[in-house]
Chain A
Amino acid sequence: MDMTYIQGILMLAGINLIAVLGLCLLTGFTGLFSFGHAGFMAIGAYIGALMTVPPSTMPGSIGGLGLPFIFGILAGGAAAGIVSWFIGRITLNLKGDYFCIATLGFGEATRLILNNVQTFGGARGWPGVPQYSTVLTVFVVDVIAVLFLANLVKSRHGRNMIAVREEELAAQIAGVDVFRYKMIALIVSAVYAGVAGVLFGHYMTFIQPKMFSMTKSTELTIIVIFGGLGSISGSVLGALVLTALPELLRAFDIWRLVFYGAAVIVIMISRPKGLMGGMELSPAGIRKIRAERRARLALKEEAAREAASGGRS
């Protein structure tokens, strides 16, 4: 394997990670499931490309504004965030399955609209997006995304989101504005997905509605679950492993997605907490894990002692 190949996988993993982190907040910490975040990625990718692609010179080529990359990232993220606000306004009151179904509808509708809008190339796609995404930019955005999320989760807002996840009604009675916190989580996750879309487009240098299908949304959600709900480090691990895994399994060619599907079922039925459910790989998190293990061991010992004494009497 040469360096550029590994570099490519790392960049894809890093880009996926941004979208996954957003979903981690929405799904892992707030308890809302989305099957439409590829739609936000698509919005980010297209708006981002619109900002950075140089103005059209030849007839037939699709031109943009030719601005620097940073404007593309900001505009892509902002556009996804604004759309998510509208979507949230109308769907966040839906219960259970229905929010999930609504996001599915949003994601697919976005893809089909892009398919039919000829200004952006329609189903044929939009070639000639400048290759601005580098390992450095992806890495920097990843770090910012992780730090922002880690702080958000630890803040009062983050605790309120967890309260919404654990028991919506109780949270509401305790004075948490449930709708508002769901909305914040949705907007943050959409902005993350939008930024990921911008980086993705500027990595592939070519965007096509097909890239942002429901399969992509499902993939993102699967990564979050695989990494473990409510764990940022789990999402990071999940994004790295699950982006690299299909590449490593490339030798098996067509069978790799079969393994992938089977793996998803096996995880669901055998280890539903995912890799790191509710745990963090940080100094404080590790201390917590060890304390919990000690407590479990102590409990077991006590039970054993009791059983032994019970046998004697």
Chain B
Amino acid sequence: MNQLLQQLVNGLSIGSVYALMAVGYSLVYSIMNFSNFAHGGVIMLGAYFGFFGLTLLKLPFAAAFILASVGTAVLATLIERVAYKPLRDRKAPFLYFIISAMGASILLENVVIATIGPTFRTYPEIFAREPIALGSLAIGRLDLIMFFVSAFCLACLILFIDKTRIGKAIQASAYNMKACALMGVNTDLVVLIVFALGGFLAGIAGVFFGMKYTVYPQIGNITTKSFIAAVFGGLGSLPGAVIGSVLLGVIETLVAGYLSSQFRDLIAFVILIGVLIVRPTGIMGKTAEDKA
């Protein structure tokens, strides 16, 4: 029982970071109907921004955090402008967006390998390693902070989408971009804001990921799992992305704890295929209308 609780806590903490990444995939999907595979590269660069903010610039922790998330927000919008905007203007099919995203992801990964180098880097220790004892549970300080910061960011995001005018515009664009543009919404700006939001959260997730594990150019491959979480919850749905991520995080840690850590990565893909077979629109996804 105790072990189970411990696993659940660890799963929640990693799941919340997945959620930060997954909402990035979901936001873009809701507006533009394609899976933005360049998001993994953005997260990776977030981890590097944070790392260099802490080590090279010797920034305090909070400042490094902001540097990373603002940096990735700018990067994400830049990618949108360069790699997707021309396609958007031409109304290209979604496949071109995916290929362009793949190109951007290859580009980012290899720019980092070429300039910073392929080595693994470890974040300086910011939070004390010894865990906080809570009854019989041992909760890592980093895990705790990860969970609360992620939850806070996600709550802010959902409030932003629900309550503000810009959020309403995003919702409307997700429903029908063309009609939205006809009603006088600057959909081009909406797309930029969506990428900036996704990028901002990606930066935070990247820093956490780097702190929990290490920083290396292929970190983007791990982010594939947060993409799976987004599919699991239902692509295009924000609450879905959060629920899917938390579930995936918990399932992963349970599998690693009770079966074998080797199956940890495999289970994500098994879930992915299972979800696609049983319910391709995921937990919260609306049934995709058949566009004839």
**Chain B residues touching A, range:** 35 or more
Asked if A116 and B106 sit within 8 Å, CB to CB, the answer is no
Q: Are B266 and A112 in contact, with the CB atoms below 8 A?
A: yes
What's the least CB distance linking A76 to chain B, in Å?
23
Evaluate contact between B273 and A272: CB separation under 8 angstroms. Answer: no
Chain B, interface SS category:
helix
List the one stretch of B58-66, B81-89, B181-189 in contact with chain A.
Answer: B81-89
- Asked if B269 and A272 sit within 8 Å, CB to CB, the answer is no
Q: Mark A253-274, 1 if CB is under 8 A from B, else 0.
A: 0110110111111001110100
Q: Is A181 an interface residue (CB 8 A)?
A: no
A33 in the interface (beta carbon within 8 A)? yes
Give the contacts of A92-106 with B (CB-CB under 8 A): 94-98, 100-102, 104-106
Q: Does B270 count as interface, using CB distance less than 8 angstroms?
A: yes
Chain B, Cβ-Cβ closest to A106 = B273
A265 proximity list for chain B (CB < 8 A): 82-83, 100, 103-104, 107
Q: Which residues of the other chain, B, contact A113 by a CB distance below 8 angstroms?
A: 266
Known: A116-B262, A257-B110, A264-B99. A95 touches B292 (CB 8 A): no
Q: Which residues of B contact A231 (CB under 8 A)?
A: none
* CB-based contact B102/A264 at 8 Å: yes
- Give the docked Cα–Cα distance between A260 and B276 (Å): 32
**Residues on the B chain within 8 Å of A16, using CB:** none
A276: CB under 8 A from chain B?
no
Cα–Cα distance between A218 and B105 once the two chains are bound (Å): 11
Given A91-B277, A98-B276, A257-B110: A272 and B96 within 8 A (CB)?
yes
Q: Which residues of chain A are within 8 angstroms of B174 by Cβ–Cβ distance? A: none
Q: Which of B35, B86, B99 has the most CB of A within 10 A?
A: B99
A262 (CB) vs chain B CBs: closest residue: B107
Q: Are B114 and A258 in contact (CB under 8 A)?
A: yes
A221 at the interface (CB under 8 A from B): yes
> Is B194 located at the chain interface by the 8 A CB criterion?
no
Contacts of A105 in B (CB 8 A): 228, 269, 272-273, 276
The docked-state distance in angstroms from the alpha carbon of A195 to that of B95 is 26
CA distance A104 to B230 in the complex (A): 14
A108 with B35, Cβ < 8 A, contacts A169-B292, A257-B106 known: no
Q: Most A CB atoms within 10 A — which of B29, B33, B276?
A: B276
Question: Among residues 105 to 161 in chain A, which have CB atoms less than 8 Å away from a CB atom of chain B?
Answer: 105-106, 108-109, 112-113, 115-116
Kindly identify which residue among B98, B104, B110, B269 contacts A254, using a CB–CB cutoff of 8 Å: B110
| B216 at interface, CB cutoff 8 A | no
Q: How large is the interface on A (under 10, 10 to 19, 20 to 34, 35 or more residues)?
A: 35 or more
The answer to whether A101 touches B110, judged by C-beta atoms less than 8 angstroms apart, is no
In this complex, what residue of A is CB-closest to B85? A269
Residues from chain A with Cβ under 8 Å of B270 in the complex: 109
* A185 interfacial contact with B, CB 8 Å: no
Residues of B within 8 A of A162 (CB): none
Q: Does A26 contact B (CB under 8 A)?
A: no
Q: What distance in Å separates the Cβ of A3 from its nearest Cβ neighbour in chain B?
A: 30
Q: Please name all residues of chain B whose beta carbon is closer than 8 Å to the beta carbon of A184 when the two chains form the complex.
A: none
The reply to whether A108 and B105 contact each other, CB–CB distance below 8 Å, is: no
Tell me whether A272 and B98 are in contact (CB under 8 A).
no
Given known A-B contacts A97-B94, A261-B107, A268 and B100 have beta carbons under 8 A apart: yes
Given the complex of chains A and B, what is the CA–CA distance between A214 and B33 in angstroms? 21
Q: Does B134 contact A (CB under 8 A)?
A: no
Chain A residues whose C-beta falls within 8 Å of the C-beta of B276 in the assembled complex? 90-91, 94, 98, 101-102, 105
A-B pairs with lowest CB-CB distance, top 5: A264-B103, A261-B107, A261-B106, A257-B110, A105-B272
